[in-house]
């Protein structure tokens, strides 16, 4: 879907910001670009919608080099969210969201319907929020509108530059969960820049770890946790790798199917292994029951299985 082919970029003579970057991002995935500030992650992302042009190498979208596409046309078909959100303060929420559809020349009724659908998608009551100004919204609400605005033209690709960076930890975790739930429905190809490794591990289908313009490692969260390419990546992930792995596994995939004792604590199949372990520690039991959304027992997860699966390399 998106490919970087030996891309390099420097500002001036000595400041190499991107050094021979080659990277392929698959359709429908969230690719997290992670690394310390100045590592080139934002610059790389901006090459996809041509806000930055590479000195050498090619960026391809759908097999087409982006520099062969008119930048305005390219950008209208790529959603864009930045940390500061950049909602236009003189426009209503609806007009903000309608920006790209209006540019694309959609008829008015279709734009209106799209705005309401998107407000509902990001969990803002259309009747209540359509006419509000950005300054009347909380930080989290603004970010929801920012995401709705980026989705408005129904782009296949979304670029997100630290979208939750300015939110407090609680709102941030909530927005991450909600965004993952939205992505379940919309299945966009998402390039997501962050400097927060935990956010990368939580959100990413794949993670690209960058440092000083170079790609150090590209892999799934589990791969990166289990086999960090070098000490820099290992340090970036930080300590407690085992506990972080727990968050990547869900009860549904770890459990043994069948009946479970009635007195065990019950967790939904979507719950993480971390939640299961926490529940075991809380109740002093060595097993939890796993149930589906309607509460029907699916199986049982034992502590030994949990330890085996986290430790096992697969």
Residues that bind another protein (CB under 8 A): 46, 49, 51, 71-78, 80, 82, 84-90, 99-100, 103, 149-150, 159
Which of 13, 90 has the CB closer to another protein?
A: 90
Cα within 13 Å of Cα(258), Cβ side: 5
Whether 82 and 164 have beta carbons less than 8 Å apart is answered as: no
Strand partners, 193: 33, 161
CB of 99 to another protein, least distance (A): 6
Q: Which is nearer to another protein, 33 or 87 (CB)?
A: 87
Show the tokens assigned to 126: 């259309």
Least distance to another protein, CB of residue 173, Å: 24
Considering beta carbons, is residue 103 or 230 the nearer one to another protein? 103
CA dist., res. 188 & res. 202, Å (int): 17
**Cα maximum dimension of the chain:** 69
Give the nearest distance from C-beta 46 to another protein in angstroms.
8
| Least distance between another protein and beta carbon 225 (Å) | 32
**Is the CB of 78 or the CB of 224 nearer to another protein?**
78
Closest to another protein by CB, 154 vs 305, is 154
Dig out the tokens for 115 from the structure: 């705005």
Other beta carbons within 10 angstroms of residue 295's beta carbon come to 8
Residues 255 and 244: their CA atoms lie apart, in Å, by 19
User: Smaller CB distance to another protein: residue 96 or 197?
Assistant: 96
Closest by Cα among 51, 63, 52 to 10: 52
Name the CA radius of gyration of the chain, rounded: 22
What is the nearest approach in angstroms of another protein to the Cβ of residue 153? 8
- Least distance (Å) between residue 100 CB and another protein: 6
Long-range contacts, stretch 102-111, CB < 8 angstroms, 24+ apart = 103/76, 103/153, 104/76, 104/153
């Amino acid at each position: 879907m998106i490919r970087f082919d030996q891309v390099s970029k420097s500002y001036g003579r000595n400041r190499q910001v991107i050094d021979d970057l080659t990277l392929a991002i698959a359709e429908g995935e969230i690719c997290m670009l992670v690394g310390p500030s100045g590592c080139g992650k934002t610059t790389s992302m901006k090459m996809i919608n041509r806000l930055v042009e590479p000195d050498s190498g090619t960026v391809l979208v759908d097999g087409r080099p982006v520099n062969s596409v008119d930048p305005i046309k390219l950008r209208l078909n790529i959603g864009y969210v930045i940390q500061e959100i950049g909602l236009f303060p003189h426009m209503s929420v609806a007009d903000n969201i309608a920006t790209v559809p209006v540019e694309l020349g959609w008829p008015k009724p279709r734009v209106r319907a799209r705005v309401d659908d998107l407000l509902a998608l990001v969990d803002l009551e259309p009747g209540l929020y359509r006419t509000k100004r950005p300054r009347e919204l909380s930080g989290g609400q603004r970010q929801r509108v920012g995401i709705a605005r980026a989705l408005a033209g129904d782009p296949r690709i979304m670029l997100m530059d630290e979208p939750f960076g300015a939110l407090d930890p609680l709102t941030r975790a909530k927005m991450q969960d909600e965004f993952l739930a939205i992505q379940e429905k919309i299945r966009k190809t998402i390039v997501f820049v962050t400097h927060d490794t935990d956010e990368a591990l939580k959100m990413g289908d794949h993670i690209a770890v960058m440092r000083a313009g170079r790609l150090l490692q590209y892999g799934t969260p589990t791969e990166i946790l289990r086999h960090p390419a070098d000490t820099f990546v290992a340090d970036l992930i930080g300590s407690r790798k085992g506990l972080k792995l727990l968050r990547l596994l869900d009860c549904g995939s770890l459990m043994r199917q069948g009946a479970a004792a009635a007195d065990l604590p019950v967790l939904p199949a979507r719950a993480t292994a971390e939640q299961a372990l926490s529940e075991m520690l809380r109740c002093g039991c060595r097993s939890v029951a796993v149930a589906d959304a309607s509460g029907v027992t699916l199986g049982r997860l034992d502590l030994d299985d949990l330890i085996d699966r986290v430790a096992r390399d697969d």
